[in-house]
Structure 1
Amino acid sequence: MIGRLLGTLVDKQAPDILIDVNGVGYEVQLPLTSFYELPEVGQQATVFTHFVVREDAQLLYGFNSKQERSLFRLLIKANGVGPKLALTILSGLTAEQFVQCVQHDDVTTLVKLPGVGKKTAERLLIEMRDRIKELNMAPAELTAPQNVGASPLITNNGMDDAIAALISLGYSAHQANKAVKAVYKDGDDSEVVIRNALKSML
């Protein structure tokens, strides 16, 4: 089990990063709420990881805190929720915001996330009600995940990068294009566009 990586951030393209640990490059996928908190490329980063082994792949999912990773692990234990859907949920909502959804039986917010239908949301709320007590986490108001000290992703086309990131998280091409075009302003980097697009869809 690979539980933590401490190394140099070589590349980041939401929601994926490449981190060099003593000469070995690890590809890790993060929820956007964790991705926003990464340092600049070339700097040292610490990522808490969850290792998934499938017949066709070995995958690493990363988080900025053990608490976020614990919530991810609770989510993938829920019926019908795999790692990809759990990552999508934690990209649209911070861990604290998800806790608030569960505590208030907020189906409406959950069904706005890609891949979460009404039945899945209702089942998730029921199954997570007791499990989240293990996290000892206070709920937070439902606002868009904020950029906490992260450097912007400077790219040639923030719009295209934002659309690609949203599609990789499970949004349809139509949803991603519509949301990004609605919030994009000239000069915006992809991180700002992604954050504002997610906010507009919740």
Structure 2
Amino acid sequence: MIGRIRGTLIEKSAPDVLIDVAGVGYEIQIPMTSFYELPACGSEAILYTHFVVREDAQLLFGFAKKSDRALFRELIKANGVGPKLALAIMSGMTTDQFVQCVNFDDVNTLVKLPGVGKKTAERLLIEMRDRLKNLQPSEKADIDSNLVFAPGAPEGLLTSDNQSEAISALMALGYKQPQAQKAVKAVYAEGKSSEDMIREALRSMVSA
């Protein structure tokens, strides 16, 4: 088991990163909540990791905090939740906010995440209630205003590099191309980084 990676951050292409450790490059998928905490490329980065071995692939997932990795490990134990959906859930809300959703049986918030329908949300609330007893929020999470989700339907083509990167990141998290284009177009401003556009596009779902 690879439990922790410490090395030089070489590439960032949300939700994927490449970290060089003694000349070996590790490709790691991380949720956007951890992506926002990464340093600049060329700096040292530390991620707590979870290694998944399948018949067709070996995948490494990384997290900024141990509590985030703990939530990921509990999510992938839930019925119908694989690593990709767990990553999308954790990109849409912090660990504290997810715990709040579970504590308050907040189905309406969970169904705003890509790939989470009402039945999946209800099942998650039931299955995760006992599993999250040791993952209480570190502080009060504002689940009404701080959640980061993305909205819906296309409007025109976007061509700048930063816009394209933001759209690709949202699609990798499970959003459809029209949804990703509409969300990024709504928050675009000249000179704005792809990371900022992703963050704002996700957050805009709450007020949509």
TM-score of the superposed pair, with normalisation by structure 2: 0.89
The letter of the residue matching 1:115 is G
Query: Do residues 178 (structure 1) and 182 (structure 2) align?
Result: yes
Unaligned regions of 5+ residues in structure 1, if any?
146-155
- The offset of 1:144, in angstroms, is 4.1
- For residues 142-199 of structure 1, the C-alpha deviation after alignment (integer angstroms, 9 at most, x for no partner) is 2046xxxxxxxxxx62211100000000000111111111111122110110011101
1:113 aligns with 2:127: no
Kindly indicate whether the alpha-carbon contact (under 8 Å) linking 1:144 and 1:196 is maintained by their aligned counterparts in 2.
Answer: no
List per-residue Cα deviations over 1:18-64 (Å, max 9, x = no partner): 00111110000000000110011111111100000000100000001
In the alignment, what sits opposite 1:199?
203
Unaligned runs of 5+ in 2: 149-159
User: Within 5 A, what are the aligned runs for 1:91-102?
Assistant: 91-102=91-102
The amino acid across from 2:172 in the alignment is: S
Are 1:103 and 1:129, in contact at CA under 8 Å, matched by a contact in 2?
yes
- Distance across 2 between alignment mates of 1:71 and 1:124: 12
Report what 1:164 is aligned to: 168
Match of 2:142 in 1: 141
Partner of 2:16: 16
- TM-score normalized with structure 1 length: 0.92
Give the residue type in structure 2 aligned to 1:188: K
Shift of 1:200: 1.0
Q: What is the number of equivalent residue pairs in this alignment?
A: 192
Identity level (%): 66
Partner amino acid, structure 1, of 2:71: L
* Rounded Cα–Cα distance in structure 2 between residues aligned with 1:129 and 1:171: 27
Does the residue aligned with 1:133 lie in a helix, a strand or coil? coil
1:132 and 1:140 mapped to 2: Cα distance?
Answer: 15
Pairwise CA RMSD: 1.1
One-letter code of the match for 1:83? P
Paired with 2:162 and 2:102, the residues of 1 have a C-alpha distance of 33
Match of 1:104 in 2: 104
| Distance in 1 separating the partners of 2:117 and 2:123 | 10
Q: Secondary structure at the match of 2:81?
A: coil
CA-to-aligned-CA distance 1:43-94 (integer Å, 9 cap, x gap): 1111100000000100000001111000000000111100000000000001
